[in-house]
Amino acid sequence: MSKSPNIMLPALGVTGIVLGLAYGLSTRTYKAQEAEVAEVTAQAALIRAEASETKVSMLEARLVEVQAEAEEAIAVAAASVQSLTGPAPVANGALGLGRAALPEEIAAWDVDILPDGRGLPEGRGDVLTGEEVFADYCASCHGDFAEGVDNWPVLAGGFDTLADVDPVKTVGSYWPYLSTVWDYVHRSMPFGGAQTLTDDEVYAIVAYILYSNDLVDEEFELSHENFTEVAMYNTDGFVIDDRAAVEYAAWSAEPCMENCKQAVEITRRASMVNVTPVDEFMHPVMRGEMVHDAAAKAPVEEPEPVAEGGVDPALIAAGEKVFKKCAACHEVGDGAKNKSGPQLNAIMGRAAGTVEKFRYSKAMAGSGLTWDEETMASFLENPKGFLKGTKMSFRGLAKEEDRAAVIAYLKSVSP
């Protein structure tokens, strides 16, 4: 038996009321969320508008600054053009060319350093720093000890050689003014990178060159303040050029043009005095080989060296090979001369610091050493460690066999 529909009506009514309430609540929540989203969107738009307005203001201010800078630059350029292209003063010469140099043009070229120190910039550099800078920028051409590599200029040594047939003209032996050294290094060095050195680096390099010539000690620092106190070796070696008064009259006379030589013979080449680089591609004559006919002279065979005192000839030969590390500064054999280091003929058994016409460091000159095998071996192993204050900056021969070979070679050139 089924229930009456009237019994279900109250339940359906309650359900309807609940569903209605739920719909109303959900509708109200959705509208509230929509309102919140709209409010956030409005706030974001307001912030963007304010930021854009600020950016526009900043850009307008920067534009005013740029316009002012441009107007100033245009004015400066116009003034410069006017000064450079303005009417030239009346020229005294017949051609009527050129004009007087402007002060700013003169100042741009006025960078030379005078012997009395005028023109020097402020700065300073010591010997030890100069040794490092010199090794980085200069040693590839001038050697670690300013002795010169191949035919590049020697910067140290050569004292008392200016009267010789082949004088060694270095910064130490020949240059009369320190300002010339500073100016040249500052203006033209390093090779391939001129004017890239700082003023302090130039001071340091010049200090090291002075030290290499034994003109200052290793604690010396060169600066704009003590620059003029440095005494160069050959300051008094130059004379005033009086050729205009003494010789020009003879040169202006009419040449005789009579009894001239019928033939001219070339007797020497520049390569013979070591001023022209020699390479394998040169013609033999340009290399200094004076070949005048096809009948070249047969080479003269050198006699085999005879070892004295029972020394192994092979050891002497090995020493001669190792000595090439020393040859940049020292010479041995016939005609050996002092370079940046003294000549080493007959050094074994000799008192240290006694070679004539060589300027030793104070440490070496007053050492009281005698060059026997033991002393020489210790010195060659670590020169600066063995004798503090020595001018020799060679790092030494680490291998015992190299030291023994060099000593054997030096003994072979000693009586």
Question: What is the C-alpha to C-alpha distance for residues 389 and 361, in angstroms, rounded to an integer?
Answer: 7
CB 103 within 8 A of CB 80: no
- The token duo for 287 is 């290399």
User: What pLDDT, in 10s, does the model give residues 229-249?
Assistant: 999 999 999 988 898 888 888
Residue 57, pLDDT > 70, answer: yes
State the pLDDT at residue 33: 63
Tokens 């620092």 identify what position? 221
Give the model's pLDDT for residue 34: 64
Task: Give 109's contacts (C-beta < 8 A, 6+ positions apart).
Answer: none
What's the pLDDT at 294?
42
Higher local confidence (pLDDT), 188 or 52? 188
* Separation CA 219–CA 242 (nearest Å): 41
Q: What average pLDDT does range 202-210 have in this prediction?
A: 97
Q: Among the listed ranges 26-35, 56-65, 93-102, which one has the minimum average pLDDT value?
A: 26-35
Lowest mean pLDDT among 76-85, 150-159, 164-173, 378-387: 76-85
> Residue 376 and residue 347: Cα distance in Å, rounded?
10
**Mean of pLDDT values over 70-74:** 81
- Nearest CA-CA partner of 391 in 379, 399, 402, 383: 383
Question: What value does the CA radius of gyration of the chain take, rounded to a whole number of Å?
Answer: 43
Least confident of 127-136, 202-211, 323-332, 367-376: 323-332
User: Is 189 exposed, middle or buried, given 0-12, 13-18 or 19+ CB atoms closer than 10 A?
Assistant: buried
Which stretch of 20-34, 141-155, 202-216 has the lowest confidence by average pLDDT?
A: 20-34
How far apart (Å, rounded) are the C-alpha atoms in residues 125 and 200? Answer: 5
pLDDT at 295: 44
Helices (H), 86-213: 103-109, 127-137, 139-142, 178-188, 199-212
Confidence at residue 256, expressed as pLDDT on a 0 to 100 scale: 82
pLDDT, residue 1, reads 45
Instruction: Write out the two tokens for 274.
Output: 């070591």
pLDDT, position 182: 97
Lowest mean pLDDT among 168-182, 308-322, 357-371: 308-322
Residue 29: what pLDDT?
56
- The CA-to-CA distance between both ends of the chain, in Å, stands at 152
Task: State the average pLDDT over residues 250-258.
Answer: 82
Residues in the chain: 415
Q: What is residue 2's predicted lDDT score, i.e. its pLDDT?
A: 47
Query: What band does 396 get if pLDDT is binned at 50, 70 and 90?
Result: confident
pLDDT band of residue 415 (cuts 50, 70, 90) is low
Under 8 Å between Cβ of 234 and 249: no
Strand partners, 124: 223
**Cross-strand partners of 222:** 125
What's the pLDDT at 290? 46
Residue 41: pLDDT band (50, 70, 90) is confident
Q: Indicate the average pLDDT of the chain.
A: 80
pTM of the model: 0.47
Side chain identity at residue 137, one-letter code: Y
Q: What is the pLDDT at residue 129? A: 96
| pLDDT tens-digit map of 109-129 | 888 899 999 999 999 999 999
Q: Which two tokens stand for residue 145?
A: 């000890």
Q: Does 289 have pLDDT greater than 90? A: no
Q: Are 205 and 128 in contact (CB under 8 A)?
A: no
| More confidently predicted of 18 and 123 | 123
DSSP 8-state assignment for residue 115: T
**pLDDT for residue 220:** 96
In terms of pLDDT, which residue wins out, 309 or 391?
391
Higher pLDDT, 50 or 144: 144
Helices 199-212, 178-188: crossing angle, 10 deg rounding? 130
Helix (H, G, I), strand (E, B) or coil at 205: helix
**Segment 89-107 mean pLDDT:** 76
More confident residue, 175 or 319: 175
Residue 338 and residue 173: Cα distance in Å, rounded? 12
**Residue 176: band (very low, low, confident or very high) from pLDDT cuts 50, 70, 90:** very high
pLDDT the model gives residue 225 = 96
C-alpha count within 13 angstroms, C-beta hemisphere, residue 373: 8
The amino acid at residue 329 is C
Asked if residue 25 has pLDDT above 80, the reply is no
Burial track 345-382 (b if 16+ CB lie within 10 A, e otherwise): bebbebebbebeebbbbebbeebebebeeebbbbbbbe
Burial class (CB in 10 A: 0-12, 13-18, 19+), 248: exposed
